Amino acid sequence: MPAGQFAGLRDPMATVFFRQGRWPMTLEEVLDGLTAAGELTAQSVYLISEAGQIPPDEAPGLRRDFRFAISRAAPGRDPDLLVSSDPGSVFLQVAAWDPVARVFNYYMRISPAWIWTGDSWSSLAPESRGKGCFDSHVNGSVVMKELKQPWSNWQSMSATIQLAPDDPLRDNPLYRQVIGAERLELTVKGLVSRWTTARLSAVVADGMVAHPDHLLRQLFTSTTVNLASTSTQSATVTSGGRDLPLPLGFWLNADALLNDLGLPVGMETVPTAPASLYADSLTAFGFRLEEQVSAFSQPGDTFFAFVVPEPAYEDNDVVRQSVKQGLVPARFAACALMVDFTNPVFSPVRAHLMRYVPTAPVPASTWCDDIASAVVATARTLPADSPEAEFARNWAVPEADWPGVFAQRVDVYLEKVTARIRTASGFDDCVRLTESRRRAFREMRLNEFALTLPTTDIPADAPRLRMNEDGTVGVVTTGGSP
């Protein structure tokens, strides 16, 4: 790193350690050094393991892959530093907030050195996007894949990670400080929003939006995802049990459309399926957990039933804050999200519309209207089932009416899927669609651990599937994301 750039680092790792010529090589040295310097002395410790809910005595040779996530903050303040490490400090990674540059700096300890892997802006630069640590921190923010209750794989108020009686982790002082991931959810959401705020303030200046494509790809595409699941333990779902409520984020981008944009939907409950159909699907599709290195295989689903990719909090936060600031009109965001809204992640239909988003700076006052006009003009020359035509129909809904019109479409759709998944064929289609989206997730670098998702007998080369607005499932036919 050039000396001038090095001197400009103002995050806690730089000020406490690196610019002082100090190079802590273990997790303990990092934490003790911060404490000794009187910096960020408020500490919270969290624990995750994808094998954490598998009883140790049932799989004694299974890799447990325990990792700590540790936040450090000034007392009474939000955290400025997140550390990720295994108990033995084999790997050690840090995201540290620089209050001057208003970015996260990302560091990795590769003995005997520390590597600066980039800052938040590096994630958006073409030469580094998707590379290095930005294959997971794809938009420059901190990451917690399982961000909602039940926080699958994390120790939380929903589940306790199981340890063997003689597991050395029991003697680790950090283990005795572990608290529930429900607290980490709030921390991560706050840090994501901190970066979004800083980013938006930097890309909008003098009435112009720089890199409009960088912003709107988080509206039109899935730049990344979170993982959601039911709060029901799969082992407790029996053929005679209660109905299984499936995650709302599987059916549509509920966080953006319902919570942020406020569509007044009338639904009272999320779609639910009979427990018997879920239990039957585990056998019919050969559900199992597999970890090849340990030669581990166990029939059944993940600990919490029905883990699925859903729209990422960080994508939605960019849209949320852009709408709140008046940068993106709520109507424009809603019209975009309602294109292929039944496929909230990995939608090539919605991604197709990115070709109408400029890459050069545009006037902040008209940029969304200009994009909409270009899409609508092209739609006149295309078939009625084109992405352009679907957006044009949404855009044609009067300003005063779009919340009610779109909410009615959502209500009708959810009624149809609820009816479909209460039949054997409908639920089987739902399972196939779920596995199709899981395969797309497995192609991402976020898929780091074999036990994050279940394995099934559905072929890896099965056609990619999509949900239709009438509740049926079909094959993806539209071209992919630009």
pLDDT, averaged per 10 consecutive residues of the chain (482 residues), comes to 91 97 96 96 98 94 95 96 95 97 97 94 97 96 97 98 95 97 98 98 94 97 98 87 93 98 93 96 97 95 98 98 98 98 98 98 97 98 97 98 98 97 98 98 95 97 97 82 32
Q: Is residue 482 part of a domain?
A: no
Looking at the fold, whether 352 and 428 belong to one and the same domain comes out as yes
| Cis peptide preceding 247, ω within 30 of 0 | no
Q: Is residue 199 part of a domain?
A: no
Tell me, what amino acid is at 208? M
Residue 258 is classified by DSSP as: I
Looking at the fold, whether 415 and 325 belong to one and the same domain comes out as yes
Looking at the fold, whether 215 and 172 belong to one and the same domain comes out as no
How many alpha carbons lie under 13 Å from residue 473 in its C-beta half-sphere? 20
Q: Is residue 198 part of a domain?
A: no
Looking at the fold, whether 257 and 115 belong to one and the same domain comes out as no
Residue-range definition of the domain harbouring residue 469: 206-475
So what's the pLDDT on residue 93? 97
So what's the pLDDT on residue 482? 29
Angle subtended by helix axes 313-324 and 330-337, to nearest 10: 150
> What is the domain count for the chain?
2
Looking at the fold, whether 8 and 133 belong to one and the same domain comes out as yes
Q: Is residue 196 part of a domain?
A: no
Looking at the fold, whether 292 and 341 belong to one and the same domain comes out as yes
Q: Is residue 94 part of a domain?
A: yes
Looking at the fold, whether 166 and 237 belong to one and the same domain comes out as no
Sequence-ordered alpha helix ranges (H) in 2-115: 3-7, 12-16, 27-36
Looking at the fold, whether 160 and 116 belong to one and the same domain comes out as yes
Looking at the fold, whether 304 and 357 belong to one and the same domain comes out as yes
Tell me, what amino acid is at 426? G
Q: Is residue 412 part of a domain?
A: yes
Q: Is residue 194 part of a domain?
A: no
So what's the pLDDT on residue 269? 85
Looking at the fold, whether 128 and 275 belong to one and the same domain comes out as no
So what's the pLDDT on residue 268? 82
Tokens standing for residue 195: 């970066």
Of the residues 133, 150, 184, the one at which a domain ends: 184
Residue 216's nearest CA partner among 95, 105, 370 is 370
So what's the pLDDT on residue 480? 40
Are 69 and 62 in contact, with CB atoms under 8 Å apart? no
Looking at the fold, whether 330 and 435 belong to one and the same domain comes out as yes
User: How far from chain centre, in Å, is Cα 344?
Assistant: 12
